Amino acid sequence: MPSPHSMVLLLGIFGTSFVIALSGALMPGPVLTVTISESSRRGFWAGPLIIVGHGILELALIILLLLGLGPYLKKDIVFGIVGLCGALILMWMAFGMFRSIPSLKLNLEPGAEEGRNPILAGILMSLANPYWTIWWATIGLGYIVFAMKFGAVGVIAFFAGHLSADFAWYSIVSLTISKGRSFLSERLYRGVITICAAALVIFSVWFGFMGIQKLVSILVV
């Protein structure tokens, strides 16, 4: 049974992890873009399901970090490769969205819209972002090292706080989008999907450029 002092520290780990993760979740990125897109298609549960995929990947990464992967993730070559692969994934997702736009029909029945698996989308969109990998190799790893002072329960408190922030924010986003579907015309609906696809293209070009820049810097040296 943890002492009252330890409980306060564990709650502190949970709370600060929540705040730090929320600050990251609030920033625009591929996961947010796909959440908006899928929520307009599927309804509220798209957001939480995307975060389930996101959380599965983060749990796997935490295990790898605990096994000593952290220093390798900080290398420029890893950033470069992840950036290029992420750019290809995002471009593929964007192409699929653009291709589906002419045939899209606005269906307001929750869950009736078929398409990509939201859990898989959460995994792919996280993998596609090289800054997600770098965050975990630096800030995330540092927090895990601190949380490990309290054993497994400390790491659990950190991960619970981190994932709770993602679930809270993306559930709000998904709920807002899904409730607004009753006010969407098919034209506006297609416009939302077009904007999301265009945003993925922008992220793709940005990540690809940053990846190439890192790899070129390695070759020059």
- 169-183 residue pLDDT tens: 999 989 988 887 666
pLDDT, position 5: 66
Long-range pairs, 29-33, Cβ under 8 A, ≥24? 29/125, 29/129, 29/203, 30/90, 30/125, 30/126, 30/128, 30/129, 30/200, 30/203, 31/122, 31/125, 31/126, 31/129, 31/170, 32/170, 32/173, 33/125, 33/196, 33/199, 33/200, 33/203
Is residue 115 included in any domain, yes or no? no
Is residue 62 included in any domain, yes or no? yes
| Cα 209 from Cα 164, distance rounded (Å) | 32
| Cβ contacts of 139 within 8 Å, gap of 6 or more | 20
Is residue 19 included in any domain, yes or no? yes
Is residue 78 included in any domain, yes or no? yes
Number of domains in the chain: 1
| SS3 label, residue 110 | coil
- 99-110 residue pLDDT tens: 887 876 655 454
pLDDT, position 188: 76
Is the CB of residue 55 less than 8 Å from the CB of residue 163? Answer: yes
| Cα 113 from Cα 191, distance rounded (Å) | 17
69 pLDDT more than 90: no
pLDDT, position 165: 94
Confidence of residue 112 (pLDDT cuts 50, 70, 90): very low
| Cβ contacts of 102 within 8 Å, gap of 6 or more | none
How many CA atoms does the CB half-sphere of 219 hold within 13 Å?
7
- 6-47 residue pLDDT tens: 788 889 999 999 988 887 887 778 898 899 888 888 889 999
111 pLDDT more than 50: no
- Name which of 211, 87, 71 is nearest 136 in CA terms: 71
Type of residue numbered 108: L
Is residue 114 included in any domain, yes or no? no
| Cα 196 from Cα 200, distance rounded (Å) | 6
| Cβ contacts of 206 within 8 Å, gap of 6 or more | none
Segments forming the whole domain that contains residue 135: 4-104+121-220
Q: Is the pTM of this model over 0.75?
A: yes
114 pLDDT more than 70: no
Confidence of residue 130 (pLDDT cuts 50, 70, 90): confident
Is residue 109 included in any domain, yes or no? no
Is residue 111 included in any domain, yes or no? no
Q: What is the mean pLDDT of the chain?
A: 85
Is residue 86 included in any domain, yes or no? yes
| Cα 35 from Cα 25, distance rounded (Å) | 12
Query: Poorest-confidence range of 53-57, 136-140, 152-156, 163-167?
Result: 136-140
